[in-house]
Amino acid sequence: MKRVLGAALVLLVVCSVSVFARGSSDDGAIKIAMMPKFKGENYFDAVKIGAEECVAELNKNGKVVFIGCEISANTFLHFLEDSSGAKFLSAAIVKIKEPDGRLRTEMIPRHLPGHRDFYRRDALNGKFYQRAVERGLEIRTAALGAGKATVMELRQLYDIGMRLIKDDPRILLCDDPDCQFCSKF
């Protein structure tokens, strides 16, 4: 199960700027959980660590923090896809680099193919975030240098997101009839 979960979160690599921070940790330390690009060459295993920490932070007032990037890079939504058994996930063959440099072939049972509605640059105006905010999701932003930081409560995002997916299994897909991926589901 652990392997499946981690494998399904391969897109963590794409949005490596997302971090989880402890909301009420004793030492105030910020734990960066999703930086696979910077953990060495074996990013697949690094991604699995990210997924494990993602689950752990759910129960510890974790937050998802976007620093200098848009919420369209929210890989946690793929975690919701995996958790809800989304039908549009499919198997993929990957090469995993071992510490000694050898490549191992493995199958990811639920990989993350295709397009999503929340990939749009104005993701806040997309289906998922619009409905999530209507149901109480708080999205806080603050200026940070020349850019901005955006914060969401992980537990809130998980609970609201899972309910939204249950009500509308296509909520994370776009409605463009010309979209070669989303129109298949």
Tell me if 34 contacts Zn ion by CB under 5 A: no
Tell me if 182 contacts Zn ion by CB under 5 A: yes
Judged by CB under 5 A, the number of residues near Zn ion is 4
Tell me if 179 contacts Zn ion by CB under 5 A: yes
> Interface with Zn ion by CB under 5 A: which range of 28-36, 59-67, 99-107, 173-181?
173-181
Q: How far apart are CA 36 and CA 75, in angstroms?
A: 13
Tell me if 112 contacts Zn ion by CB under 5 A: no
What does DSSP assign to residue 147? E
Nearest in space to 54 (alpha carbons), one of 40, 46, 144, 145: 46
Q: Which residue number, 65 or 172, has a Cβ lying nearer to Zn ion?
A: 172
CB of 119 to Zn ion, least distance (A): 8
CB of 177 to Zn ion, least distance (A): 10
Tell me if 174 contacts Zn ion by CB under 5 A: yes
Q: Which residue number, 89 or 174, has a Cβ lying nearer to Zn ion?
A: 174
Q: Which residue number, 33 or 182, has a Cβ lying nearer to Zn ion?
A: 182
User: How would DSSP label each residue in 79-144?
Assistant: HHHHHTT-TT-EEEEEEEE-TTS-EEEEEEEEE--S--GGGSTTGGGSHHHHHHHHTT--EEEEEE
| Angle, CA of 56, 57 and 58, to the nearest 5° | 90
User: How would DSSP label each residue in 43-83?
Assistant: HHHHHHHHHHHHHHHHTTTEEEEEESS-GGG-THHHHHHHH
> Interface with Zn ion by CB under 5 A: which range of 6-14, 79-87, 111-119, 143-151?
111-119
Tokens 């409560």 belong to which residue? 153
> Interface with Zn ion by CB under 5 A: which range of 68-76, 97-105, 107-115, 142-150?
107-115
Work out which of 97, 115, 135, 170 binds Zn ion, going by CB under 5 A. 115
Note the residues at the interface with Zn ion (CB under 5 A).
Answer: 115, 174, 179, 182
